[in-house]
């Protein structure tokens, strides 16, 4: 079987080239052809020696993912559904803005964490994506968008690992993909513009700080353990105190001087003024230890199986105001791509669940979610 070169960061590709008897600078050339120029055909790589191109033809391939569908929203958002085999498909979303182009990338087919408000979580988990499957989403999106816009310059300036899956539960495949995104011979993205979003896999947050410290977003969604246990089941393993301590440790290595805390606003569940004040206390009590954060309030995108509803705008604004009045930087996420189900929490893809998530979620729905105050 041929080796897919999308599976490598530059060091990995250099090791592969070494096996072929080729020096590192050849790997750099190859890496630039693949990631900067979007080339998949070795015969087009004109500055590589013919002998190397012949070798590569015999043992390697640049294989992206088959596109099942592509939808373009009225607001310019693009959503791709990629086939990853075995009846699974993952989603990737491009969000254009005036000053940036952001790609939301999936890391797993499904997700085992099972957050109550997340449509991916409701689909269960099938498997981790490989590095090639993670990078192929960026490779395809970047070069398809360049062709469409008729430009040679970079279209995607930011990547957020916020699509399907918990990226830190697929750490071994994630890190080489991040390195290719950051590499000046690859996509050359700034560490500040590549964000890993986690529901709080504490040991892996510590490893990421050492191995590849990019911007970090944490799916918080609740101000106390009692509520977070229900909304984000991983909290039972890594409760809030441990999670926030890990955030503080991460900040010593992070490219930004704050952690983004994501907070999905659920009507009557986690959106009261008392919840906001509890968050203020939580943040203030940790500032002395060096904890710095920014809140991103996310309007919930309802889907029938969740049994949950979106907080009214006035409730979201009042909640935000309490945080802002306490001096905490707070934004409310604009919903984008609503018309193509590309908004946050709507990425569903197709997952051959191996975890009985549907039954598990149905049982959870019998637990009433009520404000704890």
Interface with ligand SF4 by CB under 6 A: which residues? 111, 113-115, 118, 120-121, 164-166, 199, 219
Ligand-binding annotation for 220, yes or no, is yes
For the residues of 322-342, what is the DSSP string, one character each?
A: HHHHTT--EEEPPP--GGGT-
Alpha carbon distance 363, 276 (integer Å): 29
Alpha carbon distance 266, 113 (integer Å): 18
User: Reduced to 3 states, what is the DSSP secondary structure of residue 196?
Assistant: strand
Confirm whether 350 is a catalytic residue. no
* Cβ 270 to ligand SF4 shortest distance, Å: 14
* Cβ 233 to ligand SF4 shortest distance, Å: 9
Alpha carbon distance 115, 198 (integer Å): 12
For the residues of 24-43, what is the DSSP string, one character each?
A: HHHHHHHHIIIIIT----GG
Strands 78-85 and 67-72: antiparallel
* Cβ 121 to ligand SF4 shortest distance, Å: 3
Which of 91, 133, 262, 278 does the annotation list as catalytic?
Answer: 91
Which of 104, 264, 293, 344 does the annotation list as catalytic?
Answer: 344
Nearer residue to ligand SF4 within complex by CB, 62 or 104: 104
* Cβ 84 to ligand SF4 shortest distance, Å: 15
Q: Per residue in 207-226, is it b (16+ CB within 10 Å) or e — as a string?
A: ebbeebbbbbbbbbbbbbee
Instruction: Say how many Å lie between the first and final Cα of the chain, rounded.
Output: 59
Confirm whether 22 is a catalytic residue. no
Nearer residue to ligand SF4 within complex by CB, 199 or 272: 199
Nearer residue to ligand SF4 within complex by CB, 36 or 219: 219
Ligand-binding annotation for 111, yes or no, is yes
Alpha carbon distance 172, 175 (integer Å): 6
Nearer residue to ligand SF4 within complex by CB, 52 or 162: 162
Ligand-binding annotation for 118, yes or no, is yes
Ligand-binding annotation for 166, yes or no, is yes
**Residue nearest ligand SF4 by beta-carbon distance:** 121
- Which residues are catalytic, by number? 91, 344
| Binding residue ranges for [4Fe-4S] cluster | 111, 115, 118
């Amino acid at each position: 079987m041929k080796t897919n070169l999308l599976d490598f960061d530059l060091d990995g590709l250099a090791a592969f080239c070494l096996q072929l008897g080729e020096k590192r600078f050849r790997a750099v050339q190859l890496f630039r052809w693949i990631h900067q120029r979007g080339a998949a055909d070795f015969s087009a790589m004109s500055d590589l020696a013919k002998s190397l191109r012949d070798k590569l033809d015999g043992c390697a391939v640049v294989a992206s993912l088959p596109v099942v569908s592509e939808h373009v929203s009225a607001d310019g958002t693009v959503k791709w559904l990629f086939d990853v085999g075995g009846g699974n498909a993952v989603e990737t979303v491009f969000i254009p803005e005036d000053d940036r182009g952001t790609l939301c990338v999936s890391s797993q087919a499904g997700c085992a964490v099972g957050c109550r408000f997340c449509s991916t979580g409701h689909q269960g988990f099938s498997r981790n994506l490989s590095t090639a499957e993670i990078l192929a989403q960026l490779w395809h999106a970047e070069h398809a968008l360049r062709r469409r816009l008729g430009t040679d310059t970079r279209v995607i300036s930011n990547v957020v690992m916020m699509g399907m899956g918990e990226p830190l539960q697929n750490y071994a495949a994630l890190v080489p993909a991040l390195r290719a995104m950051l590499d000046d011979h690859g996509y050359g993205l700034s560490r500040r513009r590549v964000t890993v979003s986690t529901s709080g896999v504490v040991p892996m947050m510590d490893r990421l700080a050492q191995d590849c410290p990019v911007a970090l977003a944490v799916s918080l969604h609740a101000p106390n353990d009692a509520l977070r246990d229900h909304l984000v089941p991983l909290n039972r393993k890594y409760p809030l105190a441990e999670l926030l301590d890990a955030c503080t440790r991460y900040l010593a290595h992070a490219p930004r001087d704050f952690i983004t805390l994501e907070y999905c606003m659920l009507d009557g569940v986690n959106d009261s003024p008392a919840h906001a004040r509890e968050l203020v206390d939580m943040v203030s009590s940790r500032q002395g230890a060096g904890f710095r954060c920014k809140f991103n309030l996310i309007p919930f995108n309802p889907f029938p199986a969740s049994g949950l509803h979106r907080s009214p705008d006035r409730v979201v604004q009042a909640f935000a105001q309490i945080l802002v009045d306490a001096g905490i930087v707070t934004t409310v996420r604009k919903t984008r791509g609503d018309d193509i189900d590309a908004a946050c929490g709507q990425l569903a893809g197709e997952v051959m669940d191996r975890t009985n998530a549907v039954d598990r979620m149905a049982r959870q729905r019998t637990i009433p979610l009520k404000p704890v105050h």
